[in-house]
Structure 1
Amino acid sequence: MDSGYSTVQILLAILLISRCKAARKWDYEPILISATSSDDSLIKLEPNIVRLGRGQYGLSARVEWNYDVTEETMVDAIVYRSSTGDESDYKLLPYSVPKQSFYDYMNTFYKDVVMKNFANCSNVPQFEGEFQPPWPKQTYIGDKCTVAGDGLPDMVPQGFYKIIFNCTGPDQPSWSLIAVFKIINKMF
């Protein structure tokens, strides 16, 4: 009888361990998404928030990319958080993409987050291994994209998050994306 009880305990422990996996413990609502470009003839960005259903939102975008990226093209992203959403309440967070070359970005954050979250709803370039230049000049479309959270932290504090993404380079346009999301913790 004692060995049967131990077997049940072991089976329960295995069941509990197999069910314990990391998963996103937050949900989001996009509040704002905007873009700027120093030259719309070289890069034109048209992001927008789309309603998918009751309480469900996605992101759509059209990006007309008409310039060559070089080794000197630099990108960075800065993330701020506010508990109230008030502009004066935002504080800088350590979640960021440090200033780096476009090609380094492609092999890190782009591959780990952008490809995983936007591959199913857009025509952004996909690759395995190292990114091989050039970045294609074309029109990119994202349609009703939702962020699954792949490559992002599983747990973040509730509040408003502002993300500012910048891209610059010599003899290239400067452009940026600004997005604000309200993060809500999920119970299950």
Structure 2
Amino acid sequence: MKVLSNNFAKFLILITFLQSFLSSECVMPIKKDWDYRFISTELINDTPDATQAFVELSRISRGKYGLSGNVTLFTGTFGENGFIEMSMYRSVRNDGDFLKLPYEIQKESFFKFMNDHYKTILMDSLKDCSNMPIVEGVYATDWKAGESLTFTNCVFQDNKDTPAHFQPGFYKIIGRVFRPDDIQMTLTVVAEVFTVH
């Protein structure tokens, strides 16, 4: 199984997450011949006593949607003791069988995620639509009880790693955020990739 270390595309937490996978198929920079649209999103919070969270599709303009949401930590801290993992699936049809792709983020600490995938891939897309931190050096700040992360109309921004070509279809990204024993959240985002001329 191939594990992405420096390339993971974009969604929080959750966001999170399509651009990182797209960048794993990077080609020489030429005119991009594809685009995407969000289809659905679902957040399952199995530990409401520890966190409050929601994510939804928000209309930006006709036919264009972003991701909006809020996550509030109620107890303790979330840092080296918190973990994130993600996986990606593809189907020809939205109602078809989704097959797992050989790209994933295996379990890694929140600090490692912030200093790697977030800093190099996600930050450019989230810095202007959320209160996520702008990481310039080494990130090592715990997320503390009472603090909230807020996202409003977030979309994935192209960067130097955005591939010119990407296979059309429906992509499902599943991200899991957890602190052993008392935080369990799972975010699922489905997007359609289509060809443009």
TM-score (norm 2): 0.75
Task: Quote the RMSD (CA, aligned, Å).
Answer: 2.1
Cα offsets for 1:166-188 (capped at 9, x unmatched) = 0222233111111100111233x
Aligned equivalents of 1:32, 1:104: Cα separation in 2: 28
Flag the structure with higher strand content: 2
Q: Which runs of 5+ in 1 are unaligned?
A: 1-19
Aligned equivalents of 2:31, 2:106: Cα separation in 1: 26
Flag the structure with higher helix content: 1
Which residue of structure 2 lines up, in the alignment, with residue 173 of structure 1? 183
Specify the SS of the correspondent of 1:110: helix
Aligned length: 167
Asked if the contact 2:115–2:135 (Cα under 8 Å) also holds between the matched residues in 1, the reply is no
Aligned equivalents of 2:33, 2:187: Cα separation in 1: 25
- Indicate how the Cα distance of structure 1 residues 23 and 176 shifts in structure 2: closer, same or farther if over 3 A, else same: farther
Which residue of structure 1 lines up, in the alignment, with residue 91 of structure 2? 82
1:103 counterpart = 2:132: no
| AA matched with 2:143 | W
Aligned equivalents of 1:63, 1:23: Cα separation in 2: 36
TM-score (norm 1): 0.79
Cα offsets for 1:104-155 (capped at 9, x unmatched) = 1111111122211111111112211211221244122211112114476413
Once the two structures are superposed, the pairs formed by residues 1-188 of structure 1 within 5 Å of their partners are 21-22=29-30, 24-67=32-75, 68-87=77-96, 89-137=97-145, 138-150=147-159, 153-154=162-163, 155-187=165-197
Cα offsets for 1:6-53 (capped at 9, x unmatched) = xxxxxxxxxxxxxx8456543111111111112223222211111222
Query: What percentage of residue pairs aligned between the two structures are identical?
Result: 28
Larger Rg: 1
Cα offsets for 1:55-100 (capped at 9, x unmatched) = 211111121123412434221100000011124x211112321221
